Structure 1
Amino acid sequence: IIDAYYVKAINTRNIFISFLFFLIVSFGIILAKNGYIFIVINFVVSVILLGILTLIEVRKFILIKVVS
């Protein structure tokens, strides 16, 4: 839905933000020498972040369509 509506790469931006979050937090987990289960949890949180960012963009799209 997002890529079909926008000319800009909004979905790519959301994926990039989520991926950076995953890398930064994973690096902190590795430095703290925590268990690998925390990296798995971090991955789940990153996917949830991607979903939230996508939901925000879809809501903007829907609100623009309703108002117009």
Structure 2
Amino acid sequence: MAHSAAPATAAPALTPISLKTIAPWAVFVGVLMLVLLYFVGAEQGATSLVSGESVHEWVHDGRHLLGFPCH
């Protein structure tokens, strides 16, 4: 039985991504993480932005998982 060899294809060249391209996304992700950390760690405390218990109930398990006291 004859095997037909598939023609070798060249791998696509990897192009580096410039810092100008990554910087806005890095800033966006950093700010998003800080907002998330605020809501999990500090909301419903002295710096509360939202009144009531709704935010506390949504992030309650996350607080315990990350070691923030809430009781």
TM range (shorter): 0.3 to 0.5
Structure 2 length-normalised TM:
0.33
Q: Look at both structures and tell me which one has the larger radius of gyration over its CA atoms.
A: 2
Q: With CA pairs under 8 Å and 6+ residues apart, which has the higher RCO, 1 or 2? A: 1
Structure 1 length-normalised TM:
0.35
